[in-house]
């Protein structure tokens, strides 16, 4: 049972997209879109433009490097303290 009575139970992707955009899917749209190939530009993780490469390096300022180093040191200190506490607990008991 569907919680919303006005929504159909099974929608195709195209019908859902139309519904999401505010358009109501019609019944004749049910099978016409399946055989069509849509040419969309492929953008993936492997393809990077030169603008994206420069954007990755923009946030690595000297302030970022200092904060990154402090964070790494604090994590190492916490791990060392946890190990020391466990060793103390093992040898005391």
Task: Please tell me the pTM assigned to this model.
Answer: 0.39
The alpha carbon torsion through 14, 16, 22, 23 (nearest 10 deg) reads 50
Angstrom distance (rounded) from CA 88 to CA 67? 31
Tell me: the pLDDT tens digits for 39-91?
Answer: 666 666 665 555 655 666 688 899 999 999 999 999 999 999 999 999 999 99
Maximum Cα–Cα distance across the chain: 76
């Amino acid at each position: 049972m569907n919680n919303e009575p006005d929504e159909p139970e099974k929608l195709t992707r195209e019908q859902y997209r139309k519904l999401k955009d505010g358009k109501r899917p019609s019944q004749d749209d049910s099978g016409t879109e399946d055989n069509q190939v849509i040419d969309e530009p492929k953008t993936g993780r492997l393809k990077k433009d030169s603008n994206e490469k420069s954007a990755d390096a923009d946030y690595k300022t000297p302030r970022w490097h200092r904060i990154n180093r402090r964070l790494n040191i604090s994590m190492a200190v916490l791990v060392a303290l946890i190990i020391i506490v466990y060793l103390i607990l093992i040898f005391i008991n």
